[in-house]
Amino acid sequence: MDEKKEALVPELEDLVRKFTELLTGDATPERVEMVKVWCLYTTMAKAMPPLIQHWGSEPEHMEARNQIREIIEQIKQWNQEKNQKH
């Protein structure tokens, strides 16, 4: 069975969708998930830099780290494109 998990705080999901739209110009499900990754990772990096540095230095996390970097770069690009339109 493929059950969709209900959001713990539905209003927060709505807020994240709106944030994604304002940040990137669109709030597709993929972009919303990417923005969640970006928010969580950057918050952790600011709150506990040694943890993120240690995690990122582990060889088994290299692919995930690179994927997160790509997500961050893509969000920056979408934001720049959105800002150039206005």
Ranges of each domain in the chain:
26-76
Mean pLDDT of 77-86: 92
d(CA 67, CA 69): 5
> What pTM was estimated for this model as a whole?
0.88
Predicted confidence (pLDDT) per residue in 1-59, tens digit: 455 678 899 999 999 999 999 999 999 999 999 999 999 999 999 999 999 999 999 99
Q: If 0-12 CB within 10 Å is exposed, 13-18 middle and 19+ buried, where does residue 68 land?
A: buried
Buried/exposed 3-35: b ≥16 CB within 10 Å, e otherwise: eeeeeeeeeeeeebbeebbebbeebeeebbebb
